[in-house]
Structure 1
Amino acid sequence: MLDLTVRTLAWMLSLCTPRPRGRHRLGAVPPLRIAPIPAPPPRFTELLDGTACRLVRPYVLDPAEHRRQRERRRAARLAILGIDVGAKHIHGVRVPAASR
């Protein structure tokens, strides 16, 4: 593929550039020699152990945490509208309903 690209580019440049004239002209264009790129070494040489991994993903929530997260998101949405439905306890002290 690289050889085809180089040949196409050389042909397009030969069309776009003027040909040299006179006794110092180049003559035949020597072939391009491109060194082959060696294959990269393999990255993983050992098998992965599936028992060493945790089976539960860290972002999976239990139902109680999912409910608390839903309540926090609801409070944030209502706060945008100016409605305060904040926490019932702040720093361990129960907040009366009138100040919430």
Structure 2
Amino acid sequence: MLHTIARMLDPLLRLLWPPPPGRHRPPCVHILPVRPLPEPGPRPIPAPEPYLRGEDSPLVRPYLLAHERRQAKAEARRQRGRRRALWLAVRGIDIGPRVIHGREVAA
């Protein structure tokens, strides 16, 4: 497409700005080589590009990542508390919650 536009504009630009006269410059020089147009025919159909999934994209909003990190930290904190309560319960110290892993714990 660019070559077609350049071929159309080249004669117009030569009329508007003729080359300056000079001893070492030929009077008519074609700047762009003229290529024959390709023959129309069946073109190969390009393979469709795979769809992008949101998880695969590195462009993720930072506040979403921050929210997910906060949730993961809170869940890890709760899990540590449950493990600590179980560890202390094995040693006879009852400080933890009354429900551990969905089961009622005797107090």
TM-score by length of 2: 0.29
Structure with more contact order per residue of length (Cα contacts < 8 Å, sep ≥ 6): 2
- The structure with more radius of gyration: 2
TM-score by length of 1: 0.30
Which of the pair is proportionally richer in helix?
A: 2
